[in-house]
Structure 1
């Protein structure tokens, strides 16, 4: 396993393939394997001639588990990605994030536009502006004694997913409570790199996609047909749109 330290936080990551680099930032309760390896994103991108870099975000996968919600500010997680680029000697990269990872990607692109060649925001629409990520009920679901004790529908979905990915439930509860930052419409409008937004048509987590796209000059929007928040991740329409976007971007 590859890893490095950003201050006291150890970040595990994968680094596969050759060519222009793309960094993949996974979603909440996921990992580099669950979000990008198993849905064959790494296979798709490396076979398209790309170098794929994918960290386990703090609190997830094989990276450090932290239990203070303040440690999960979206800016801190964006800095982990910046530090990974520094660690690997990568000056600029395309960056694709899904859900929580899309929020982190937006924060990274605003803080370090010179490091981000293009942005793909998967599974996150206008809730980047008017939402604070997943609700507190999801954190409560992580802290429940068992899945059987969770009665909130969305909470059950994410608790079940977290158990399948063998996640640290206490760390995930802290992550939910600490990564609740939004961006203003003015900040969104200042995104400099080319932007692609990709959201499932049945996604009830992301927020309206068109409302976010309207804030970003030149942003592309792709609908992933008949997919919800969980099933959109590995969809072939999503993959085809990303490959086309990467080919066309300056």
Structure 2
């Protein structure tokens, strides 16, 4: 019997927009998985978090504790939550999937290109029906990523999927730092196209079914 799969959406998005529109919810359920969704603070119906990203991780662990161990799939900002949660409590997870997260999360210095990305996020949050102010406050609550050396404590099997055009890629250093991880690189895929990519979906299903 499979364990529940918890899906964590990306910045400015929502469970329905990130996982429903792209078909993940239906695909996973058709394969016999119980699907659970976690909304980032200040997104969807989730209240804002005064404690920033740290509080977001604790809320996620509280949700997971109801069904642990679980499989968890996170995209972008959602992958940050999944990774931090697996670092804090590896026993809560059977497997984790990290989509659209890479070495740039550790090394990136903001550039003019970020202004374009910000516009894309703004379009996304409007489409998903989120409040701009709430999302901006969530971003301000971001904390530094844990040192790569700390990832040795994430002992659960991990799948990293990233497009070769993703602005936070590559993900080689992060994948190497995880004790039991493998990486899939999607050819010709940028950050925002990751979750709608069929190869990504196939690789994740294969990983969860192993």
Cα deviation digits, residues 85-124 of structure 1 (max 9, x gap): 23xx312101111000101001100111110111111000
Q: Partners in 2 of 1:136 and 1:84 — Cα distance?
A: 36
Structure 1 residue runs of 4 or more that deviate by more than 4 Å after TM superposition? 135-138
Q: What displacement does 1:62 show?
A: 1.4
Change (3 A) 1:192 1:218: closer
Specify every segment of 5 or more residues in structure 1 that has no aligned partner in the other structure, as ranges: 1-17, 142-151
1:181 and 2:144 equivalent?
A: yes
Q: TM-score, normalised by structure 1?
A: 0.78
Question: Is the Cα–Cα contact under 8 Å of residues 156 and 180 in structure 2 kept in the other structure?
Answer: no
Q: Partners in 1 of 2:34 and 2:2 — Cα distance?
A: 5
Q: Partners in 2 of 1:212 and 1:110 — Cα distance?
A: 13
Q: Partners in 1 of 2:48 and 2:87 — Cα distance?
A: 26
1:47 and 2:30 equivalent?
A: yes
Q: Partners in 2 of 1:53 and 1:224 — Cα distance?
A: 26
- How many pairs are equivalent? 210
Specify every segment of 5 or more residues in structure 2 that has no aligned partner in the other structure, as ranges: none
1:192 and 2:155 equivalent?
A: yes
Q: Which structure has the bigger radius of gyration?
A: 1
Q: Partners in 1 of 2:111 and 2:70 — Cα distance?
A: 33
Root mean square deviation of aligned Cα:
2.1
Q: What displacement does 1:30 show?
A: 0.7
Secondary structure, in 3 states, of the residue corresponding to 1:117? strand
| Equivalent residue number for residue 76 of structure 1 | 55
| Equivalent residue number for residue 190 of structure 2 | 228
After superposition, where does 1:83-232 map in structure 2 within 5 Å? 83-86=62-65, 89-131=66-108, 152-204=115-167, 206-232=168-194
